[in-house]
Structure 1
Amino acid sequence: MATIADVAKLAGLSRATVSRVINNHPYVSDEKRDFYLYVI
């Protein structure tokens, strides 16, 4: 199973960003969330 660190490294994102997207954090706009989920 992939970890947040694995996903972040492959997607070129920070671990914090991946965590925020996965956990639906309000700091991530809907537009960016959709893009990051596509990248992930």
Structure 2
Amino acid sequence: MYSEKLPPHDIDAEEAVIGSLLIDGTAIYRIATLLQSPDF
């Protein structure tokens, strides 16, 4: 059986960021340069 390895991820962190952006769409301009893939 073949199983593909998934990279580490944090669904809660992703949901928090997306939820925050839904509340304040302009927040993307403040956080876009701060967030990186390893954050999740």
TM-score, normalization: structure 1?
A: 0.28
Q: If you compute each CA radius of gyration, which structure gives the higher value, 1 or 2?
A: 2
Relative to its length, the structure with more helix (as a share) is: 1
